[in-house]
Amino acid sequence: MAFARPAKPFPLAGAGVRLRWGSVGATLLIAFGGVALLTAITRTGRYLVRAAWEEGRILRGRRDITDLVRDSTTDAVTRGKLELVLAARAYAVDSLGLPAKEAFTQFTQLKSDTLVLVLSGAARDTLAPVTWWFPIVGRVPY
């Protein structure tokens, strides 16, 4: 049984294939604009953008604790707290045999003394919690 050859080569075969970047770029721009618009107009989108932004700020500001302890510009109170972190980490590894890996090796000094606020809500006439939906974790009491 013989197979017939196609009359034309496959559309994407060969090195002479040219993509129309104008249409691809326009499609990508429209898709990106749509995602940006949906992100901006929904509570979940704004929550995700804000959470990612703040997490990025914390991660960009990290410094190694050992470097901060050695740094002469670190104030005495902060240095004492960081030394306690290093001592607790050493105790966990040496005495308890816990695998510390990279845990508690970096520190970020925040401009605010508040990192997280916890708020609980319920209707006036019941103790049943009000729930709120978040991405990744799902529905949680608020």
pLDDT number for residue 42:
83
For the chain, the domains span 63-107
Q: What pTM did the predictor assign?
A: 0.55
pLDDT at 55 over 70: yes
pLDDT, tens digit (0-9, with 9 covering 90-100), for 74-125: 999 999 999 999 999 999 999 999 998 989 999 999 888 877 777 777 778 8
Predicted confidence at residue 97, as pLDDT, reads 92
Of residues 97 and 134, more confidently modeled: 97
**Residue 137: pLDDT over 90:** no
**Position 74: which residue type?**
T
| pLDDT-derived band at 1, boundaries 50, 70, 90 | low
pLDDT of residue 6: 54
Query: Does the pLDDT of residue 66 top 70, yes or no?
Result: yes
CA distance 109 to 112: 9
**Of 2-16, 41-55, 94-108, which gets the smallest average pLDDT?**
2-16
- Tell the burial category of 94 from Cβ atoms under 10 Å away from its Cβ (0-12, 13-18, 19+): exposed
Is residue 2 pLDDT above 90, yes or no?
A: no
Residue 4 has pLDDT above 70, yes or no: no
- Of 97, 99, 68, nearest in space to 85 by CA: 68
Across the chain, where does the E strand assignment appear? Answer: 63-64, 106-107, 131-134, 138-141
